[in-house]
């Protein structure tokens, strides 16, 4: 078992930073998933040392010939997710403190003789902090790093984050999954940062789309990802795209909670209605999201009630098969309860 330990870092200069970054970049294409996750997290932590340099390097690496390997692209996108978690700062937050600051308390800034490149402590003057926080040099330096990262991610055009989230259109399923997780993380930790990107036009080889359209596209069942597996005398189908669709629906739920103002609800509901005919896990997620939609946008549910009634009726009228095992029976019962809960929620809407 790997335990996280609070360690004291040795003095880090620019050369040491470059050596660590190069070593991590060289390991980004290793076949072991666990190793790549550690590499991505370490790359994300390096943002605290030299924000602008690291973000620019990740962008160049993603566009380089080395990124022709899908494992490298997957690691780079996951590194952005780690950056978003390590620098959880949203200047539009209503909280008076930086929400991600507590995550950095174990980072010993006094041992690092390096400030972020070109950073002036005066840049934190406009951040949502109380004046007494500047009395502590360590907190001031830490806060300055967070503010610089936030400035880089917001001010540059095109936004650096978009380069990584647009990998939702990547041909490799692992990269698309990493992009979905990164988008979910951004919507959860940095909603103010991701809102402007959701409907921003993306030109992908002459095809113009948006992040939201790419997200909705990942909720569709892809026949090419379904394979037949032999288990003795029996055959069963394995859906390699199921986890990807789960990630997509979970991301939709997060966007509904944090980025509602950027969603066109009629387009948002279409994948949910189709999800009610998908795998049981997807159906359960769809019912949960629909209940939330009924609370925040009840009229939109009313407009789609005719389409919703068909899968609802199918679930309520379904009967267990004789050869079902206990797990399948419990899943069906859970699905029926979710459908009933959704109907109860819908009944509170006028004109239904």
Q: What is the pLDDT of residue 138?
A: 57
Q: What is the pLDDT of residue 71?
A: 96
Model confidence, pTM: 0.82
Lowest mean pLDDT among 98-102, 245-249, 315-319, 340-344: 98-102
The confidence band for 136, taking pLDDT boundaries of 50, 70 and 90, is low
- φ/ψ bin of 206: left (φ > 0), alpha (ψ from -120 to 50), beta (otherwise): left
Percent of the chain with pLDDT over 90: 58
DSSP 258-278: H-GGG--HHHHHHHHHHHTTS
- Rounded Cα distance between 260 and 45, Å, is 30
Q: What is the DSSP letter of 124?
A: G
- Rounded Cα distance between 156 and 320, Å, is 56
Q: What is the mean pLDDT of residues 164-171?
A: 96
- Rounded Cα distance between 219 and 209, Å, is 16
DSSP 55-95: HHHHHHHHTSGGGGSHHHHHHHHHHHHHHHHHT---TT-SS
What is the tens place of the pLDDT at every residue in 196-224? 999 999 998 888 999 999 999 999 999 99
The confidence band for 93, taking pLDDT boundaries of 50, 70 and 90, is very low
The confidence band for 13, taking pLDDT boundaries of 50, 70 and 90, is low
Q: What is the DSSP letter of 219?
A: T
What is the tens place of the pLDDT at every residue in 269-283? 999 999 999 999 999
- The H or E element spanning position 226 is strand 226-231
Lowest mean pLDDT among 131-140, 162-171, 199-208, 281-290: 131-140
User: Would the pLDDT of 104 be above 60?
Assistant: no
User: Would the pLDDT of 316 be above 70?
Assistant: yes
Nearest to 11 by CA among 111, 102, 95, 108: 111
Q: What is the mean pLDDT of residues 230-248?
A: 91
């Amino acid at each position: 078992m790997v335990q996280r330990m609070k360690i004291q870092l040795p003095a880090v200069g620019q050369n040491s930073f470059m050596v660590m970054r190069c070593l991590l970049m060289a390991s980004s294409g290793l076949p072991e998933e666990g190793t790549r996750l550690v590499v991505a997290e370490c790359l994300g932590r390096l943002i605290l040392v030299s924000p602008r340099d690291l973000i620019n390097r990740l962008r160049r690496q993603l566009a380089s010939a080395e990124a022709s390997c899908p494992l490298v692209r997957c690691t780079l996108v996951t590194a952005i997710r780690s950056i978003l978690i390590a620098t959880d700062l949203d200047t539009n937050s209503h909280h008076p403190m930086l929400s991600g600051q507590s995550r950095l308390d174990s980072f010993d800034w006094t041992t690092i003789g390096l400030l972020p490149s070109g950073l002036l402590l005066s840049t934190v003057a406009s951040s949502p902090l109380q004046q007494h926080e500047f009395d502590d040099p360590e907190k001031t330096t830490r806060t300055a790093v967070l503010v610089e990262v936030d400035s880089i991610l917001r001010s540059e055009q095109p936004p650096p984050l978009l380069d990584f989230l647009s990998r939702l259109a990547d041909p490799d399923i692992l990269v698309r999954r990493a992009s979905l997780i990164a988008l979910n993380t951004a919507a959860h930790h940095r909603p103010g940062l991701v809102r402007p990107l959701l409907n921003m036009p993306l030109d992908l080889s002459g095809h113009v789309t948006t992040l939201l359209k790419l997200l909705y596209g990942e909720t569709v069942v892809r026949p090419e990802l379904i394979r037949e597996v032999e288990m003795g005398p029996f055959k069963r189908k394995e859906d390699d795209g199921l986890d990807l669709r789960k990630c997509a629906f979970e991301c939709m739920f997060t966007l509904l909670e944090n980025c509602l103002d950027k969603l066109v609800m009629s387009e948002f509901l279409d994948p949910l209605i189709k999800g009610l005919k998908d795998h049981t896990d997807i159906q359960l997620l769809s019912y949960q999201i629909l209940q939330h939609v009924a609370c925040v946008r009840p009229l939109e549910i009313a407009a789609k009630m005719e389409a919703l009634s068909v899968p609802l009726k199918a679930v309520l009228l379904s009967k267990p098969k004789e050869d079902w095992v206990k797990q399948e029976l419990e899943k069906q019962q859970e699905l029926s309860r979710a459908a009933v809960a959704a109907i109860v929620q819908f009944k509170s809407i006028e004109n239904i």
